[in-house]
Chain A
Amino acid sequence: MTGSAALVTVLVVPLAGAVAALLAGRRGAVAAGLLASALGVAAALALAGTVLAGGMQRVAVGGWAVPLGIELRADGLAAAMLLITAVIGAGIAVYAWRYFGAAGPHDPHDLAAGTPGPAGEAAPASTQWLFWPVWLLAWGALNALYLSGDLFNLYVTLELLGLAAVALVALAGAGAAAAALRYLLLALLGSMLYILGVELLYAAHQTMDLLQLRERLQPGLSVWLAAALMTAGLLVKTAIFPLHFWLPPAHGSAPAPVSAALSALVVKAGFYLLARLWLDLFGALPGAGVVPALLGALGACAVIWGGVQALRQTRLKAMIAYSTVAQLGYLMIALLLASGAGEAAAGADGGAMHAAVLLAASHAAAKASMFMCAGSLLAAYGHDRIDAMAGFGTHLPITATAFALSALSLVGLPPTGGFVGKFALIEAAVRAGAWWAAAVVLAGSLLAAAFLFHALSRAFADAPPDKASAEVPAAPQLAALALALVAVALAAAGEPLRRLLMVGAAT
């Protein structure tokens, strides 16, 4: 497969899958979803291979050249994000296959609400199959976003992703409508701010293409205004502290496979765009170090605030959702260290960006696995109150193992991907002389250990003998275990990932 064919395949498979799943209807949607997931992983692997061997891949859509046309580009960073998305997405698909299939009259969503609002009610079984087309659409939007090299096309993919993500939240039933609506309003506001910034950039430079813009970028008031608007819009969408408030209710009240997809993959899109903007585009502006410094400071607040809030939660899904707020903070700190000032001090070997992608990948695998475990526990116990789950290690040994492994990776203990990522982040921080960042990372790890091991300790508590729990099919639990093992195995992926990220990296 040539590079450009692989690139187009990566884009087409999920979108074609979404259409096929919709046309196949209630009975055939699962098959379409699983098939698209398998093909998507193969295409992403092929693309990563060609990028690694042959450098950056480009496709001019419809044969129209930049600046009139839209160019799709796959560099190392894009290929890495595509591969992560495909692998985690496949795990989520396997989980969802039996999760939605098994949901009988005692639908597991009905107590899923970790929200301050009224508890969500059962999702009507007749609409559950819609998970497949909507999820495949969200996946296609993610892939398109990672491949876009054009600011306006990025806006369109952001909107596609946002609408699909809102629809996924709304799948939980009428009780989740408020969470979905809040998410939609903020996502729309975020993309309006973003497009306003894009417009200012176009007015000043007459191009939307990222590479052309980088060459033509002239410092000035309009560029700074554009940068501020786009960054603010993306901060809302990425749920960076203090704009994170919409995330816990939206992620905490969704069905388990949806929570996994949103928390593991969808929020990473905003981080990816922020990294593209501040490392590739605005980084060259004089005095541009201020904004990454601000993002890093917000990230540090997010790590601590998210950790403290997670400690205070009594419901498992809400706790896991706040953990995502904290984990996004690490990515912002890595962004600061990867930006001009940090990398100059560290010798510009891309160490911080490497740490960021490794952390993002480990978090995606571990967080997806953990939300899946929470879904299995919810199905078994009918609730997700942490303190009333005593003895889940005996009832659901596979789920308890998956939970323990993903907790290890989220805390950052060896031998997991989370450990290698955090280690690389602390190394970059120390080399850049940013001791505060190293301290925040360590403090965040302690907080994560406190809340995750508290939840895990319930697995080994003595179960009250009279409490019977419902049976949970093995396939979803094994999918959660597989993703937890991916989080562990990422510890060995450091070197290949570093080589991949060097392809097309802006230096």
Chain B
Amino acid sequence: MSLALLYGLAGIALVAMGLYAALAARHVLRRLLGLNVLGSGVFMMLVALASRTTDIATRPDPVPHAMVLTGIVVAVSATALGLALLRRMHAHDGSPWLPEDRDDDSP
């Protein structure tokens, strides 16, 4: 198994885990973390691609690397906005869950 394949498979595993957490978790912080894991998986697959999609085996393709860097900037901004909104919702409603997920035993 090549290193790139290992990276790719690990990326797929991260995507699956992150997707599950983003969809199944009710605590918004868990969902945000899930989306971050999902994003990491996507970026890892891109890094793996960089070594595969090149004409010369010794020189990785720079385009996916540039995409990962851009993607990380986007993910950081989005996470910051999400955390700020979560704090605000928690301060206002007293719950870290979205209204539709709240029931009697919600924290």
B103 at the interface (CB under 8 A from A): no
Bound CA–CA A68/B88 (angstroms): 42
Q: Which residues of A contact B71 (CB under 8 A)?
A: 195
Interface size class of B (residues with CB under 8 A): 35 or more
- List B residues 43-74 near A (Cβ within 8 Å): 45-46, 49, 52-53, 61, 63-64, 67, 70-71, 74
Measured CB to CB, the closest approach of chain A to B50, in angstroms, equals: 10
Q: Is the CB of A175 within 8 A of B92?
A: yes
B63 pairs with A68, CB closer than 8 A = yes
Contact for A184 among B45, B82, B92, B100, CB less than 8 A: B82
Q: Residue on A with the closest CB to B89? A: A177
A431 at the interface (CB under 8 A from B): no
Q: A116-B100, A170-B85 are in contact. Are A184 and B78 (CB under 8 A)?
A: yes
Within 8 A of B (CB), among A184-215: 184-185, 188-189, 192, 195-196, 199, 202-203, 206, 208
By secondary structure, the A interface counts as: helix
Q: Any chain B CB within 8 A of the CB of A366?
A: no
Q: Within the complex, what minimum Cβ distance (angstroms) separates B7 from chain A?
A: 13
A152-B67, A202-B49 are known contacts. Are A182 and B91 too (CB-CB below 8 A)? no
> Taking A152-B67, A177-B88 as contacts, is the C-beta distance between A199 and B45 under 8 angstroms?
yes
Q: Does A242 contact B (CB under 8 A)?
A: no
With A116-B100, A181-B98, A188-B78: A195-B42 Cβ-Cβ less than 8 Å: yes
In the complex, A192→B70 CA distance in Å? 13
| Among A116, A163, A199, contact of B99 (Cβ-Cβ < 8 Å) | A116
Identify which of residues 26-48 in chain A touch chain B, using a CB-to-CB cut-off of 8 Å.
none
The answer for the CA separation of A352 and B86 in the assembled complex, in Å, is 43
Contact in complex: A181, B82 (CB < 8 Å): yes
From known contacts A174-B92, A196-B15, infer whether A203 and B22 are also in contact, taking CB-CB under 8 Å.
no
Contact check, B78 vs A202: say whether CB atoms are below 8 A apart.
Answer: no
Within 8 A of B (CB), among A309-326: none
B53 contacts which of A116, A174, A175, A206 (Cβ < 8 Å)?
A: A206
Let me know if B74 and A156 touch, CB within 8 A.
Answer: yes
* Complex alpha-carbon distance, A182 and B85, angstroms: 10
Q: Is the Cβ of B35 less than 8 Å from the Cβ of A178?
A: no
Judged by a CB distance under 8 angstroms, whether B81 is at the interface is yes
Q: Give the chain B neighbours of A115 by CB distance below 8 A.
A: 99
Q: Are B88 and A174 in contact (CB under 8 A)?
A: yes
Q: Tell me the bound Cα distance from A197 to B73 in angstroms.
A: 19
Residue of A nearest to B102 (CB): A117
- In angstroms, Cα B78 to Cα A208, docked, is 23
Q: Does residue A166 face the partner (Cβ distance < 8 Å to B)?
A: yes
A159 at the interface (CB under 8 A from B): yes
Report which A residues bind B (CB closer than 8 A). Answer: 67-68, 115-118, 121, 152, 156, 159, 162-163, 166-167, 170, 174-175, 177-178, 180-182, 184-185, 188-189, 192, 195-196, 199, 202-203, 206, 208
Q: Considering the complex of A and B, which 10 residue pairs feature the smallest CB-CB distances, nearest first?
A: A177-B89, A174-B92, A117-B99, A177-B88, A181-B85, A159-B74, A188-B35, A178-B89, A203-B49, A177-B85
